[in-house]
Structure 1
Amino acid sequence: MSEPCFDVAHLGHVELYSDRFEESLAFFTQVYGLTATFSDEDTAYLRAFDDYEFHTLKLTRHHTTGIGHVAYRTTSREALDRRVKVIEAMGCGIGWVEGDEGHGRAYRFRDPDNHIFELYWDTRVYEAPPAEKPALKNIAQRYHGRGASPRRLDHLNLLASDVRQIRDFMVEALGSRVTEQILLDNGRLGGCWFTVNNKTYDIAYSEDHTGATGRFHHVTYAVDQREDILRAADIFLENGVHIETGPHKHAIQGTFFLYVWEPAGNRVELANAGARLILRPDWPTVTWTETERKKGQAWGLKTIETFHTHGTPPVAPVQKAKE
């Protein structure tokens, strides 16, 4: 086992594209329960009530749906410089950008599937206005109870044409550890879960069965307990939100989940994702077989077909030749 790398602290924020911007913004603020810290005609910066940064979700008006970029914060300015040197040596760097409303200068790069990532250190810590001041000084914002009202950003899942290639990339570029993976009968990796800290995972990749690249599967915010998710299911039902699957418990990672589609079609999850931590420094990767995964989720719920076929932006499936 190589020495763990702790240059990268945590998942910072995710940028989502929406071709129904006003409807998506209404969903995320009024139904899902995030707070807008800044918005204009084409962009909204959103956060959950206990996120410490200015934003964890950037919603951008676009001609289609899907992922804009994924951002991680490093543990120091020196750590950022170290990671940039590694990424540049890998040949996947894009270059420095000046940042946006929520953080300072950032370094952008691409994963092997053409998703755009950025690393940054200088950030804008959220300062609650008087109406959002919490009663306790050790949380970022008062609990407002609006919509599903998640606590914090937890993780995201991206689609990739070659998950094994992604596995090698994430370990080298970010110093990620692989906590769990799915090994298919054909030898390919069907999915891989990564962490840069002691969470079970901050990002996952799933094989894109369409043959496309650079697509988005889902983003997840965490709630405190399962009852919050059950309550959210009723909130989504009452507001006409498409519930794709759940509530139920995942076999992989053990999270209690609920998946919905926001109005533009991007998949969004709620989960009690803080249920498990990886405290073991020499954690061995847990490998699931294709046969084991076909049994379904933890309590037997079969994985819904759209979980393997729906991603954003939408594309026509590519017919692969039989092996």
Structure 2
Amino acid sequence: MSADLQFTVEPNTQPASDDQRAQTLANPGFGQHFSDHMAIATWTRENGWHDARITAFGPLELSPATSVFHYAQTIFEGMKAYRHLDDSIHLFRPEANAARFNRSAQRLALPELPEDAFLDSLHKLIEIDKAWVPAGGETSLYLRPFMFGSDPFLGVRPSAQVTYCAIASPAGSYFAKGVKPVRIWLSEEYTRAAPGGTGAAKTGGNYASSLLAQAEAIEQGCDQVAFLDAVEKKWIEELGGMNLYFVLDDSTVVTPELSGTILEGITRDSILKLVTDLGYSVTERKISIDEWREGAASGRIQEVFACGTAAVITPVASLKWNGGEVQVADGEGGKVTAAVRSALLDLQYGRATDTHGWMTKVC
């Protein structure tokens, strides 16, 4: 049944009223409100994927023995649907999210969801909840597909039952008052991922393990935390939930190379191509923490920016660590950061020609 899995649609009989939805869309925030429907499907060892449907958004009923609660066998994706000026709705590189979802599933010993089924679930969810896609500014409909072991069994083994689900949340601009450069705290005690671990998978445990370091960053007056590699503790990897880019004084753009411990961000990969489109040279290589500190101090590093689905592209103002802090240039971001951010947003919102074939029209 899995090979031709398609999602049937069961409309919510009690959707939000037009007034309720309009009130939410006027100030959606991020991840606080949800559309009327969700996608859900079940996998079992005996029957594969089945019972795939779009149904009313609501609670899941799970046994206290459900395996995900005990062994964290869970993965997720984050992506957005954008409303263009002609009122059409588009996804940005959804096939890349589908492929990464299955790579994460492999690492967590979960069943792969056919890519066509993954895309079908999102298209049908957006189509039935298209009124929830906000318009104007940098608003969007944030989509959260996820999968977890739902077998009510306490033995330590891959779950014999798995649930796939996708929910949708209207999202306002991440920076309601304009883009704000962020201060970064260097975590020298904690690491995000180790070779052979789950760093390249988008799994809940990676984010849970970053929260203590993130709390430490906030205590230090910073916005985000940067992690080093787990072996030598000298190579920059990524932030708690974002990839990093560095702009050098010769206009070369550099980002830490993928090593199996860094998440392969869709935004990160897109920037590699957009930077080239803008006429800059881009390189993936190892970057040491000393290179960041010394480069920012000397002016060799002129810009640093972080990238991810939620915040898109965010300039980095400074790096702080136990015993010191260094500002990046004037601390306000720079022309390369601004140019790449504009190029990406113009593409996503349909204001620029899609020369890479990245946008998929849903409805």
Question: TM-score of the superposition, structure 1-length normalised?
Answer: 0.29
Question: TM-score of the superposition, structure 2-length normalised?
Answer: 0.27
